[in-house]
Amino acid sequence: MNDTAANENIDAELLEVVKGLAELTWDLKGLNTVAIDLRTIVSYTDYVVICTGTSERHVQALARRLDTAMRESGRPPLGTEGVEHGRWALLDYGDIIVHIFNGEARADYNLERMWLEAPRVEFENQPKDLYGHFEMEQFGG
């Protein structure tokens, strides 16, 4: 296998992990899940996954469950921040960074606006109510 084919396999595997994280947020009733492909935009990560929890406890539960799933698949985090506070949890896996916000923090930080030019990951089974009670344009959509 040449280097190009190997890189394509790695990219495809990583994209499947990103999609799996998004699907898990939906299963756990996370709102507004967005995955952004940053491979050509920044050097510190390949993808960012952003979702909203409905309360502090929900943010904490989402963060813990996503982290457990990643650890169980052999991908421990490089670092985590904010899980105990429930306003904004950050899970850093190097090539994937996950941000889980409560509604107020998501609106305040509006990370999607930073990467408007970056492609969004398309999901085949995306819930119809993806944007919950938020307006799409609030998050750069």
CATH number, position 77: 3.30.460.10
The answer to whether residue 137 is domain-embedded is no
- The more confidently predicted of residues 27 and 127 is 27
Number of domains composing the chain? 1
pLDDT (0 to 100) of residue 123: 81
pLDDT (0 to 100) of residue 129: 53
- The more confidently predicted of residues 10 and 27 is 27
Question: pTM, whole model, 2 decimals?
Answer: 0.84
Structural domain containing residue 8: 3-122
Mean pLDDT on 125-133: 56
Instruction: Give residue 76's region: left, alpha or beta (phi > 0; psi -120 to 50).
Output: beta
User: Which tens digits make up the pLDDT trace of 19-35?
Assistant: 999 999 999 999 999 99
User: Which tens digits make up the pLDDT trace of 103-118?
Assistant: 999 999 999 999 999 9
The answer to whether residue 140 is domain-embedded is no
The answer to whether residue 141 is domain-embedded is no
Half-sphere exposure of 75 (CA within 13 A, CB side): 17
The answer to whether residue 136 is domain-embedded is no
As a whole-number percent, the residues of the chain with pLDDT over 90 amount to 76
pLDDT at 11 over 90: no
The answer to whether residue 26 is domain-embedded is yes
- The more confidently predicted of residues 7 and 36 is 36
To the nearest 10 degrees (0 to 180), the angle between helices 56-72 and 3-27 is 140
The answer to whether residue 131 is domain-embedded is no
The answer to whether residue 94 is domain-embedded is yes
pLDDT (0 to 100) of residue 53: 96
pLDDT (0 to 100) of residue 124: 78
The answer to whether residue 134 is domain-embedded is no
Residue in the structure block whose two tokens are 């190097």: 94
